[in-house]
Amino acid sequence: MRKRKNKNLILKRAFIYTFLVTLMVLFGAFAANTSNAYNCKVGDTECENAKANMQQNRAEANSYNQMANSVAAQIAALNSEISALNAEIAANEAKVQELNVEIEKNEKKLADNQVALAEMLIDMHFDSDSEPITILAGSKSISDYAEKQAREDVAKQEIALASQKIKELKISLNNQKEEVEQAIESSEAKRSLVASKRADQQVLKASYEKSADDASVLASYWEEQLKLLAWTPPSNTTGNGSRWYGVANTYPYQGNCPRDNVRYSAYGGAVCQCTSYASWKAKEKWGISNTWGGNASNYVNAKGYTVPATGIKTYVDRNPAPYTIAVQFGGPYGHVMWVESVNENGSVNITEYNVNWPSIGCNIGDFCSRKNVGSSNMWFVHFD
C-alpha cells in the first residue's frame, strides 16, 4: 500500500512538471515567432534563403529544447523513484540494526542457557550415579529410589526441550535476518537500475541541449546575415513623392486629355481616367486586357486570373515591383498607377492619369509622373 502511494505521488509530480515545462516551451516559441520580422525584396533569393535558414534553425532549437525538457521531466520522476528507494533501504537497514540487537541478546541468552545446562549435567553426574543398582543402593527406600529416578528423567527432558528451543530460535533469527538482507539487496539493485536509467537520460538531455544550442548559434548567424540583406520599408510611408520628368507618355488618348473624360476607352474605364491608363500600360507591356472593370479599388480582385491568349497569370500582394499596377484605396473610387521602377528604400516611381497634385504639376484628367512615392499603403497587381 505504501509503495502504491509513493508511485502515485511520483506520477503526479512528473505530470505537473511536464505541464509547466510545456507552457514555458509554448511561450518561448510564441515569443520567438513574434520577434525579429524581416522583409526581403521581391526576387532576392539570397535574402529569402537566409530567412528560411534562420526560421528552420529556430524551429530546430525549439524542438530540441522541448525534447530536453521532456527528458528533464523523466529525470525528475526517476529522482523521485530513487528517493523512495533510498527511504525503503534506510527503513530496512534500521530493521537490520534492530535484528542485530535482538540477535545479540538471544545469542547471549543461548550462551547463558548452554552454560546452565552444562552445569546441570555436571551436577547430575557428580550428585548421582546413573546406574539403577547404584541409585537403589544409595536410597533409603524404594520410594526414595523412585523419586531420584524421576528427577533425573525430568532433568533429561528439560535438557532436550531447552536444546530444541535453542535450535528453533537460531533458525528463526537467521531466517529473519536473511529476509531483511535480501530486501535490502533487492532495493539496492532497483536503485542501481534506476540510477543507470537516470544517467542515460542525463546524457540524452545534455545531447538535446547541445543540439538546441548549436541550432540557436546557426539561427543567430543567419539572422545577422538577414540584417544585412533584408529590405527596410520606406520611412515616409505616405509620401506622395515629387514630379518626375522625362518619362514618355504612350497613352493612345493623350490628345483628348484632360477634357475628354467621360467617353469609355477600349482598355477599361473612361478616357483620361486612371483605370484607362493603367489598363493601357498592362496591355502595352503584357498584352493583357482589363477584365476587372469598374472602379480602381476593384483591381485588387485581379488575383488568380489567367489571360487566355497569353497564359499570363495575375496575382496581388503588398510587394512593389516594376511593371505592375499599384492600387491605392481612398475616396469613393480609389486610384491606380503604373509602376515604372522600384527604389532601394521600397518607394516607387510611377506614371498615372487623373490625380490632383497641382503643387508638383499633376492635374485632374492629365498625365503625370511621380518618383519616390511611399508604397506601404499600396497593393500591387503582378503579371507572371
What percent of the chain clears pLDDT 70, i.e. is strictly above it? 73
Top pLDDT among 320 and 237 is at 320
- Mean pLDDT score, 60-86: 91
**pLDDT greater than 80 at residue 87:** yes
**pLDDT greater than 60 at residue 134:** no
User: Residue 66 — very low, low, confident or very high, per pLDDT cuts 50/70/90?
Assistant: very high
CATH topology of domain 242-383: endopeptidase fold (from Nostoc punctiforme) (3.90.1720)
Distance of CA 199 to the CA centre of its chain: 22
CB-based contacts of 296-301 (< 8 A; 24+ apart in sequence): 296/327, 296/328, 296/333, 296/334, 296/335, 296/336, 297/327, 297/329, 297/333, 297/334, 299/275, 299/325, 299/327, 299/334, 299/336, 299/379, 299/381, 300/327, 300/379, 300/381
- Mean pLDDT score, 103-120: 73
Residue with cell 528427577: 151
Top pLDDT among 169 and 380 is at 380
Q: What is the pTM of this model?
A: 0.43
> Mean pLDDT of all residues in the chain?
78
Provide the pLDDT for residue 303. Answer: 65
**pLDDT greater than 70 at residue 144:** no
Distance of CA 366 to the CA centre of its chain: 60
Q: For 255-265, what is each residue's pLDDT tens digit?
A: 889 877 667 77
- Say whether domain 2-229 belongs to CATH 1.10.287: yes
Report the distance separating Cα 119 and Cα 232, nearest Å. Answer: 110
Provide the pLDDT for residue 16. Answer: 47
Spell out the domain ranges in the chain.
Answer: 2-229, 242-383
Provide the pLDDT for residue 69. Answer: 94
